[in-house]
Amino acid sequence: MTHFPDFNQHFSGMYDPSLYSDMLGPLQEDRLGMTVTSGQVKITKDQSNLIGISIGGGAPHCPCLYIIQIFDNTPAALEGTLEPGDELTAINGVSVKGSTRTEAAQAIQQSKDHVIINYNKLHADTNKAKSLDIVLKKLKHRLTENISPSTADAFGLSRAILCNDTLVKRLEELERNELMYSEIRERTRNTFKAFYELNHIYKEFGDVFTEIGCREKQPEAGEAFRRFGETHRLFEKYGLEMLNSIRTMLGNLDTFISKAIPDTKLTIKKYEDVKFEYLSYCLKVKEMDDEEKDYYSMHEPLFRVETGNYEYRLVLRCRQAARRKFSQLRTDVTQKIELLDQKHVQHLSSQLQTMVSALAQYNSVCIKLFSNCIRFPLDMDLSQCFDFNYTDEQDLTEENDELSSLNQTSTSNNNNNNDNNNTITSRKNKRQADSKDLMEETEPEPEKDNNDEIIKLDDDEGEKEEANKIEQPSSLLLDD
């Protein structure tokens, strides 16, 4: 059997990073155009002997130690000087350059009450760090927001945490409440409009009865009609006062619909956008961590890590800024939704109770007013309504109407003409007799002959006119 030499024995330094560092020298840091400033901070520990930071980088792969995350409500977060991406240079006066993160953590824990940290603060523009990759990740999160988990898994879309956020689902509830409030506002407005028209009718009704009372000759009836009309005028007066008292209800509903709900919806949309941005940076950090693990598993160096890992630290700073915005907007959305819920439960019910109580009070006042004005039954003189005094001209008009009706019937039956003539003659004789009696009573006897001649002349002219009227139907027949 052929014996082969041990590969690791002869080529043991092929994958040793120290070999490349000895041959090529240390690599310079690539800060990507960012600047750093040095500083020192003293942080008091909590009861668990921690300051609340997570450390990354360090030997043997990265030449520097940096802060990955600062936890909420910890001494480091409350102090506010350190931020993710800042480099740790010394702890309690001891340099940690070239140390591992485990050694740095032990140095912090060995301190008793407080720890002094020297750092290099990274000054980065988070707006310039928003690359196309972040924009595409935001778009993917927005698309997968309304997709069920099974559908997302079928398409191979990963769903980050907080995608099914309950605050975003409250947006649909707000839209339903907005629709309900809009319908309540329209119905209330229509009710007020109809009530206003009813009050206007009350006023007109009262004016009519007041006018009737003023023209009534009977004192009691006139007083009854007047009080009845005044009562309806009071209905109109109290109705307008009631409308003015509850008119603010429509203003409150308009404010709730046009300002409160749209403002909350806009805040939810901003919160949703910031949430997607924060999730995109979280996903970017996870991808970069996975990339480092893959290179370390293959014992291969990663250029960005060996040059200070500034790209990764920039993403950490952007993630922290997005997380800060996300937490602030989440608090604002929660508070606004709670206020809207309180208004939905209390404000709307109080407004409706105010309207119902105002209507009930108005009805009770109207019933009281109407009960005090009842003065019926009453006595009225209706003799003038049935006492008709016709003049001579009216009599002649009626006779002409009767003659025209008789003439129309004569066209169908000529035998009725004689009866009509007899009727006319009898009426004429009766009228002549009445006129003679009247003249005998009123006129003196010396002038009796002249008056008789005048009456006779009038009778002759009347006979001629009636004869002409009787002859008219035949002429009408000829014309037809």
Across the chain, mean pLDDT equals: 75
| CA pair distance 195, 126, nearest whole angstrom | 60
Per residue in 212-269, pLDDT (tens digit) is 888 877 787 888 888 888 888 999 999 999 888 888 888 888 888 888 888 888 888 8
Question: What pLDDT is recorded for position 201?
Answer: 92
For the segment 281-301, the average pLDDT, to the nearest whole number, is 87
**228 Cβ neighbours under 8 A, 6+ residues apart:** 206, 209, 213, 373, 375
CB 319 within 8 A of CB 282: yes
CB 356 within 8 A of CB 245: no
Question: How far out from the chain centre does Cα 428 lie?
Answer: 84
More confident residue, 169 or 149: 169
For the segment 317-328, the average pLDDT, to the nearest whole number, is 89
| CA pair distance 476, 480, nearest whole angstrom | 6
More confident residue, 153 or 54: 54
For the segment 170-195, the average pLDDT, to the nearest whole number, is 86
Which run of H or E residues covers position 90? strand 87-91
User: What is the number of other CB atoms lying within 10 angstroms of the CB of residue 440?
Assistant: 11
| CA pair distance 382, 129, nearest whole angstrom | 99
**302 Cβ neighbours under 8 A, 6+ residues apart:** 61, 291, 292, 295
Question: What pLDDT is recorded for position 449?
Answer: 46
Per residue in 438-479, pLDDT (tens digit) is 555 444 444 444 444 444 444 555 555 554 544 444 333 333
Per residue in 381-430, pLDDT (tens digit) is 666 665 555 555 555 566 566 656 656 655 555 554 555 556 666 666 66
CATH no. of 166-372: 1.20.1270.60
CB 206 within 8 A of CB 373: no
If DSSP codes are grouped into helix, strand and coil, which group holds residue 171?
A: helix
**134 Cβ neighbours under 8 A, 6+ residues apart:** 277, 280, 281, 284
Question: What pLDDT is recorded for position 197?
Answer: 92
pLDDT at 199 over 80: yes
Question: What pLDDT is recorded for position 409?
Answer: 57
User: What is the number of other CB atoms lying within 10 angstroms of the CB of residue 238?
Assistant: 17
Domain coordinates in residue numbering, the chain? 27-123, 166-372
Question: What pLDDT is recorded for position 15?
Answer: 44
More confident residue, 139 or 40: 40
- DSSP class of residue 60 equals T
| CA pair distance 176, 261, nearest whole angstrom | 11
For the segment 9-15, the average pLDDT, to the nearest whole number, is 44
More confident residue, 104 or 12: 104
Question: What pLDDT is recorded for position 388?
Answer: 52
Lowest mean pLDDT among 124-138, 190-204, 357-371: 124-138
CB 241 within 8 A of CB 141: no
- Specify the fold of 27-123: Pdz3 Domain (2.30.42)
| CA pair distance 63, 313, nearest whole angstrom | 13
Question: What pLDDT is recorded for position 450?
Answer: 45
Per residue in 303-317, pLDDT (tens digit) is 888 888 888 888 899
| CA pair distance 160, 138, nearest whole angstrom | 11
